[in-house]
Structure 1
């Protein structure tokens, strides 16, 4: 986990006004490298990291008086904007598919298996055994008994009826009773699924998962017994999993928005969808199951809680199945502040910072400002005479 901080106050100006030597540049580079993993301020709608903004403020442009002896370089013009700034704590996470569903075989000989990466939805085949295809139903728990007319009422009956209705088999009441109407619907489904039309649903006929699944790996082999796990599947929805240090659990608020930095260089928004209630530590146990042998208190310091994040735009992750990401959790927010590009700041001759106001005169005039929070190449500024929409000079791109 990291925090990025902004360089603020007169100390930053003093650094900017000192002659820069090669040693100074090396020190600054090392300092920038250290800063690159610390927390910072991001624009509310921004998606890039603030490392560039933090490092940029360490090298402030000279004022017009300081640059008088230098050749003139035409600049560009930006405007003072009123916006929101968000301070975020950055924590590493993993992009992956949600859920884990090991699919156990039902006996017999495997005669058909799906390829890894295949998505399987309600009613579709999961695997084949003895020449028949086992289908997928949605539900909270697997079937555990044969379902036929006369069986006692139960949630498993309700699950089967819901799936039959969703697949278009009507003419029955969807409740927890297996009636003659249910049997008729089962027979129609069995005919379409090329199963014996018995009107009885057995656990070997269907695999039950909460939703659609995606095949991750296929440990089963054609022609071998359908025993043990024949498939290892996940859900079809990609999420970000974060092991958040337990000491920072206040950062995770269900429903709160976060920013997810992707390995592609882009980023997208996300929403905290789930927060674990059990803290674990990598030092809780060693590979033999014995208690960890680390320093006293180390397990407490390393304790984490699982946090799951739903991507606001799943397509932003491209075709990545599994990848490291960085998540920005909100620490604090500054709403409705005036902000300018960091590169608009110049060192004022009398100390402090200033911006160069472009007001139609021959040369820009210096307006003293006080910098605040940094975010995505922007910096909060305040000062007498500073107003929203004011045109200021920035270096030409």
Structure 2
């Protein structure tokens, strides 16, 4: 029996984590023993990890997050104040090296210099939630495995990655799976020397189960009789809810009676709630919060709209396509791929005006 090790950051409610759970469902257990490493063993999907999966807490970063996330000069000043002169000097050198090269490889090498290699040996080790500096470095340098695989879930031209560190680490991967054709094309254009290792591996969507799950989930309860537009996803800049809110303003100004519902939560929610108030359309926007099972909302909305600024292969879009409603998406990586065979699917530009026009056209066909 072969041993596979996957590494993710956490099991938060999100597309990458959901795709991972779907992948687990098709791996034959009689052939593979599955191990899952989590840098932070937490999140709304923890309880959905199958019982036979062996979970490992990867704690090497536990005392490093402040150094990784805080501004380097702030860290250096703090070390000086603590009179840790040598450590401050080393961090200054690492900071200067990063400023000159744009490469954090030596920074991670220094951070994990005293951290042991993970116990045990695996046939396959997979950096599943990539690209990620912390995950990629750990898989490449701290895990013993016959074969190592990278897994890209984003459009790397739109996602802020350390290109030099990627060029340093990714030759360790025998294969680099990428979740859509367009995302692969953009990765290959950025890293042509790795092109012979890349391969499209689309996210697995359990299309037969989703309509069944919709029978069990929550749905709209506001007795609204106008047009319901739905977006599902983390409330964040890259998911584009702010553009959707501006598009809604345009739709309302055109006299189209509609409400826009957002399933999900995130660090931009308060800001977007304030944006809705500023535009005086907050009565037409409903934030539904995190929903582990959002499928009844997908089934019952009039139009599903994905306003993302960038994606790799959008899981929520693929899930919305399990129902018959009209679907509109901005032109992120993978959108054309997913919607090209959908008669009532439409891909549009990323401006509020283009989204409003596309949604308005879909409404006219209802």
Question: Comparing both structures, which one devotes a greater share of its residues to strand?
Answer: 1
Give the TM-score normalised by the residue count of structure 2. Answer: 0.21
- Give me the TM-score of the superposition, normalised by structure 1: 0.20
- Quick one: higher RCO (CA 8 Å, sep 6+), 1 or 2? 1
